[in-house]
Amino acid sequence: MAINFMTLTRHIYEGEKRYPGATGELSDLLHELSLAAKVISLEVNKAGLVDIIGFAGHDNIHGEKVKKLDVFAHETLFKAMDHGGHLCVMASEEEEDILRIPDYHSKGKYVLLFDPLDGSSNIDVNVSIGTIFSIYRRVTPNDGSGGTLEDCLQPGLKQVAAGYIVYGSSTIFVYTVRDGVHGFTLDPAFGEFLLSHKNIKIPEKASIYSINEGNYKYWHPGLKKYIKYIQDADNRGRKPYTSRYIGSMVADIHRNMLYGGIFIYPADNLNPDGKLRLMYECNPMALIIEQAGGRAIDGSKRILEIQPTNLHQRVPIYIGSKEAVDKVEEYLKQENQ
Ligand code: AFP
């Protein structure tokens, strides 16, 4: 059997050669992110053992405090990324304010935003969770100083790279540098991410829908009608869509991207802005899905065009196969007229 030697690191550095002016800094950043992903993956795989060696927040058998996994993931990412000299500032879903690069490290031209462990309410029950990241170029002068909130509050269209890591039946690292979407599976035997999903394209037609139907009574009437439509075989001469909802955005979108589907977290009467965060969840996933040939909107507007006003702002999201997003947009529009 031929051995696959297309590691993530090789893919990143070979990709860089296509851009003659590239300095290699973005490649270094992605490589550093992949190291953090391996450390987090190892810890996620040990999560069940916390019950045996000590609960998070309590002392373990060595008398040390056991960190909650989302805090561990946040700290791992920060420590893996703070010293390379390529970043001027970071922001994490886990922290209210921006994360400054320590004084003793040099500052660079990039900005990193991340959600260290999305779907963390699933950790204790062995369900897939994920890390999401997004990279921008700084907008403040690259003069050796630290970045500011202004560097972080850029519309998703300005992302130079985005990606996610799913910690599931295996660990998969998916990324884009606006040149297609590629997925790499972690081989635990020798600790390398190997190319497993080359140039991913989301099927144009969907067969799966993912939404928390427990919130049905709070939905917009247009959304209720759309969901009825995709459940109704006769309407379209096609089989009804299958419902699949993990409650872990990364895993739900990863599956839908491979099989064809739509993921929805709408605005409703309970959550007028939806639940998911623009900067940490929606923008990076929107760039990836668009790069894979799909669409992502907030109901009427393209997610990537939203001008952020706040680091932790929430937005509704309809994301996935083009045909499905076009259709739900039509239903929402009709009901608004
Ligand atoms: P947690 O990180 O609190 O588990 O939230 C996960 C999440 O942000 C996203 O990954 C899910 O798609 C969504 O929330 C699930 O929300 P509901 O539980 O309201 O369906």
HEC assignment per residue over 7-72 = EHHHHHHHHHCCCCCCCCHHHHHHHHHHHHHHHHHHHHHCHHHHHHHCCCCCECCCCCECCCHHHH
Rounded (10°) CA dihedral 314, 158, 112, 141? -120
What is the C-alpha to C-alpha distance for residues 102 and 88, in angstroms, rounded to an integer? 10
What confidence tens digit (pLDDT) does each residue in 292-337 have? 999 999 999 999 999 999 999 999 999 999 999 999 999 999 877 6
Nearest CA among 80, 123, 159 for reference residue 251: 123
What atom in ligand 1 is closest to the CA of residue 117? 2
Answer whether 0.75 is exceeded by the pTM: yes
Interatomic CA distance for residues 34 and 9, integer angstroms: 8
pLDDT at 233: 72
As to burial, measured by CB atoms within 10 angstroms (0-12 exposed, 13-18 middle, 19+ buried), residue 187 is middle
- Average pLDDT of span 155-177: 97
Give the separation between CA 223 and CA 231, rounded to whole angstroms: 12
Confidence of residue 188 (pLDDT cuts 50, 70, 90): very high
Backbone angles phi, psi at 188, to 5 degrees: -70, -20
Q: Provide the pLDDT confidence category of residue 236 given band limits of 50, 70 and 90.
A: low
Please provide residue 60's backbone torsions phi and psi, each rounded to the nearest 5 degrees: -90, -175
For residue 246, which atom of ligand 1 is closest to its CA?
Answer: 12
Helix (H) or strand (E) run with residue 106 in it: none
C-alpha to C-alpha distance for 324 and 318, rounded to whole angstroms: 9
Minimum CA distance residue for ligand 1 atom 18: 247
State in Å: Cα 250 to ligand 1 middle. Answer: 10
Q: Are 90 and 81 in contact (CB under 8 A)?
A: yes
Compute, in angstroms, the gap from residue 236 CA to the centroid of ligand 1. Answer: 31
Ligand 1: centre distance to CA 124 (Å): 14
Q: Rounded to whole angstroms, how far apart are CA atoms 179 and 164? A: 16
Range 79-108 average pLDDT? 97
10 Å Cβ neighbour count for 101? 24
Q: In the structure, what pLDDT confidence band is assigned to residue 60 with cuts at 50, 70 and 90?
A: very low
- Percentage of residues in the chain having pLDDT higher than 70: 92
pLDDT of residue 203: 98
The protein residue with its alpha carbon nearest to ligand 1, atom 7, reads 119
Give the C-alpha separation, 36 to 77, whole Å. Answer: 6
Cα→Cα distances 81→38, 51, 162, 250, Å: 14, 30, 15, 22
Q: Which atom belonging to ligand 1 lies closest to the Cα atom of 276?
A: 8
Ligand 1 centre distance from Cα of residue 25 (Å): 33
Of 77-86, 235-244, 247-256, 306-315, the least confident = 235-244
